[in-house]
Amino acid sequence: MANALKDLQASGIAVVSLAAIVLTGLAVVQGFKDSNTIDNATATKFITGLAIFGTFSTIIILAIIGKAIIGLFKRTD
């Protein structure tokens, strides 16, 4: 049970870190787009790439969280 709690804690930290990275990236790219530093097509590609990266990474992390939650309720008699 202690290992499952550690896994759950580590997964929670990973989710928060990933969200911070993706949101910061989106904000930076949007700022460049608004200031016309890069053109709209390039900004759209970066934003799409960050969204896809965030989605796939989140799915993997949610699977790890699910495994940790199942481990919490597993009987070890």
Question: pLDDT at position 75, please?
Answer: 65
Inside any domain, residue 61: yes
For the chain, what is the mean pLDDT?
80
Inside any domain, residue 4: no
Inside any domain, residue 5: no
> pLDDT tens digits for 9-46?
877 787 788 888 888 888 888 888 888 777 888 888 88
Inside any domain, residue 7: no
Question: pLDDT at position 1, please?
Answer: 61
Residue 77: pLDDT over 60? no
Inside any domain, residue 2: no
SS3 state at 76: coil
The percentage of residues in the chain with a pLDDT greater than 70, rounded to a whole number, is 92
| Domain hosting residue 55, numbered range | 17-73
**What's the domain count of the chain?**
1
Inside any domain, residue 29: yes
Residue 76: pLDDT over 70? no
